[in-house]
Structure 1
């Protein structure tokens, strides 16, 4: 296929056209600095091979975390200050169009294997609707072919049918992993794992799907916790010695937010059958968890390879656009933390690989890119209707081998640590929920972290790439703080909501830019 020219609208689809297929794969909690072709803890031969025929974006960042906010940005192309999905369970405003909704008028019927962690807009529901207060709902525009959430009902049913003694059905996927002691391989055979099961569903769908083109969103939960893997994949991993991992130290006086997480994070939230504070975990515990994390990466790569092989067998490979990315990263004991918290690169830096048949292969891009760039990129690749409210920028110039000279020189993300259900952060800091957040500006040389009330953080990344020293009170820090605040303010002004302000009525006509509203 040839790449469309940016800004050119492709005519409506016909039954005999050659619209490309789309395989959009997300991996959950995969750190960007452990992405294929970078530092790797487990073998990823299939993704490495994909990089030989694709464009790899080495400095790619999410705009929010945890899962719900990250995926909201990924699927809407909007910064979190616009879509306002700030925590898991925050509703997605129905006014905002998702990538799946944008694809439907072009003749695609986007299908989901996995999950999107989308809470529907409650203003569009009644309280007896199954989507009411369901934080693991489906993003608008997708049809779920295999919905695999934390309850893991389809997978557990498959395990039971194969004779696996799953006893705690109410615990969902966590209950399956709790069947083995901490540090031991899972009780589930590699061929029956969650990742294998979901992949099998996709392979069956591809084999039986006679409707082209397809638009598949394959959303793997691995390498997300629980950090436990089968023996087959544990055998493939070689984790670096603790002393060689750069960010194991936590600092003598942690920032109040980091101190809060040190006091509240427990290992029981991340691995089966172990408990205790995360920040005081032993070296052996850290190594065991890192080992499982690397094994889960290797497993995901293997099953992605199975999908690729199946596409080639079905003669679909040459007409399929492939996107592989992540929702957010993982601290993996950097700064005494696990999960996706704080402001560090470990939580925000994610993989991105885009393969377009006919595009320039084997490219490694080191410009800053953002999760919100994926939506406008697929708008261009698929000839979808443009949307003036999108915040991201199309990556088409990079795919065409011509990086633009005026590309961005920084990235932005935010993290909201409110807890409306338990008010844990609110009580700890003595703050209202709307002030429990931080906003990050990350350039090539420094990072500025803005808090509404807590102390600011500034890292001189040129001299402190591990983000250990807060220089906010130094003369250099004061200068960088001013620059960071200016960059943050300019971003917010530049990316205000344009759903209606892009239009002006005068003398019976609308002037400005037309706007697309969600449809179906």
Structure 2
């Protein structure tokens, strides 16, 4: 039995009621974030996909699905820092997987907490340094380190750091009984479902929640439990559709191959198929967990008043173009799933305009009738107009930006995706320009096209990039940050090491059965659903039978 500890409502808890109707609670929010999900591989975007995701498919069927959503940066920590703040990496100095996020940068957790929400995180967010950033509580630690150990070094561009990706994830791909990833996600799911059950047993006057469940699957290494590996027994695992010889790769892709130890590695077809099969199995594992979370909402009568969002921090090339993992702006790496389910106001539909996962913060605030501080920087846009047909004329209509300054590049690598076109530009490399609609595999770089109309469009994109980014200034900022963090890290490793990794708190005095609460009251509050004196079940839901159980 799990006895509940419900803190007193804060002074701002009145914001938990809908304006104009104090008796109606604001909706709960369940934000499910997976790691390294390539949108083009999912069945919701590719009917021919062999990946089995029935729960995600069912959620998509009743949601607003964004078919052209991109990450702000194709690397874990920068992407997540941008996602939670609604700001692009250059604005918040989110350069690589060891870049700290300032504790004074507002996140969606700050904004929703201000609106009266209990903001809770379970799982990965890859914060460096400060570990809460507006979340009232973290239910688990992070799977990745919260220190400066993974800082990139552009001062030695030809040096391959020992913690970079390598070929082992591919060559060792296959089934397993246990892995770090499984250990982590099982804890995330246990803590998340326990939290949802606990909220169902709270009084109706309790604050609404925003629970973020951030799974580490299907991130490499490419291994998954036998149960999920076996789901693809006899399934034809397709090989990558595009193979590009090393000598024909673009400059950035060649560097990525070197960084990942793949430049001179001949990966056998069998290893490629095993890696892809394990990834497919890991996606089915994620899908099962999405189903479990949605079932808990349904069982507890919270499904009709909970907004559900599903997305990812970035994708995975998974062998396309000979590339693996992320770190590029090709579609497999940069395009992510994004769907929003709101039982109160969103009709199922598919939106094909370009959006970004930095749009999630302003969208959440908008969905709960909150407000942004317009005096503060914000790069994301609310997607609510897309949900109700008012998107025409939005300031950044159909245009999104990506920024990358991590491993594999030696200078700022930037993307503009607008309409059918995508520009990828870096001072160290020749530009790349694609018509993604006509050339979804990005096989034809139109930067040198002889077509005058294409050249005119290309030049327009170059002007946009020049006006948006001061590449020299950004490069200098990155170098300064890298050097500063390397010096600090070298010093912090000497003597007694003080970890910044989050240590979850559990108060044993408020769990299960304790003598500080009358036993009859404890039993009544901890059992769900509540029953009457004859053991007959009362109606479910926070606003129904629970009120009687709490004497309200």
Give the alignment partner of residue 197 of structure 2, picking from 197, 207, 212: 207
TM-score, with structure 1 as normaliser: 0.74
Structure 2 residue aligned with 1:265 = 260
Change (3 A) 1:16 1:55: same
Please give the root-mean-square deviation of Cα atoms over the aligned residues, in Å.
Answer: 3.0
Gaps of 5+ in 2: 1-12, 147-164, 471-552
Change (3 A) 1:323 1:468: same
Change (3 A) 1:191 1:465: closer
Structure 2 residue aligned with 1:150 = 144
Structure 1 CA distance for aligned equivalents of residues 264 and 282 of structure 2 = 20
Structure 2 CA distance for aligned equivalents of residues 360 and 17 of structure 1 = 19
Aligned to 1:64, the other structure's residue is in SS state coil
Which structure would you say has the larger Rg?
2
Summarize the alignment of residues 80-479 of structure 1 with structure 2, pairs less than 5 Å apart. Answer: 80-120=89-129, 131=130, 137-150=131-144, 182-188=172-178, 194-209=184-199, 210=202, 211-237=206-232, 238-242=235-239, 245-250=240-245, 252-266=247-261, 280-388=266-374, 389-400=377-388, 402-407=389-394, 408-417=397-406, 436-476=411-451, 478-479=455-456
Aligned to 2:114, the other structure's residue is in SS state helix
TM-score, with structure 2 as normaliser: 0.70
Contact 2:305–2:344 (CA<8 Å) still a contact in 1?
A: no
Change (3 A) 1:142 1:487: farther
Change (3 A) 1:414 1:202: same
Aligned to 1:280, the other structure's residue is in SS state coil
Change (3 A) 1:415 1:185: same
Structure 2 CA distance for aligned equivalents of residues 239 and 114 of structure 1 = 33
Contact 1:35–1:350 (CA<8 Å) still a contact in 2?
A: no
**Distance apart, 1:248 and its partner CA:** 2.7
Contact 1:186–1:231 (CA<8 Å) still a contact in 2?
A: yes
Structure 1 residue aligned with 2:460 = 483
**Distance apart, 1:206 and its partner CA:** 1.4
Structure 2 CA distance for aligned equivalents of residues 323 and 25 of structure 1 = 6
Structure 2 CA distance for aligned equivalents of residues 52 and 83 of structure 1 = 35
**Distance apart, 1:413 and its partner CA:** 0.7
**Distance apart, 1:116 and its partner CA:** 1.1
Contact 1:239–1:294 (CA<8 Å) still a contact in 2?
A: no
Give the paired residue count.
419
Change (3 A) 1:313 1:145: same
Structure 2 residue aligned with 1:508 = none
Structure 2 CA distance for aligned equivalents of residues 208 and 219 of structure 1 = 19
Change (3 A) 1:44 1:79: same
Structure 1 CA distance for aligned equivalents of residues 61 and 180 of structure 2 = 28
**Distance apart, 1:457 and its partner CA:** 1.7
**Distance apart, 1:23 and its partner CA:** 0.5
Structure 2 residue aligned with 1:70 = 79
**Distance apart, 1:246 and its partner CA:** 2.3
Structure 2 CA distance for aligned equivalents of residues 69 and 199 of structure 1 = 24
Aligned to 1:101, the other structure's residue is in SS state helix
Structure 2 CA distance for aligned equivalents of residues 309 and 317 of structure 1 = 9
**Distance apart, 1:448 and its partner CA:** 1.4
Contact 2:36–2:314 (CA<8 Å) still a contact in 1?
A: yes
Change (3 A) 1:359 1:452: same
Between stretches 25-34 and 443-452, larger displacement belongs to: 443-452
**Distance apart, 1:403 and its partner CA:** 4.4
Contact 1:229–1:295 (CA<8 Å) still a contact in 2?
A: yes
Structure 1 residue aligned with 2:16 = 13
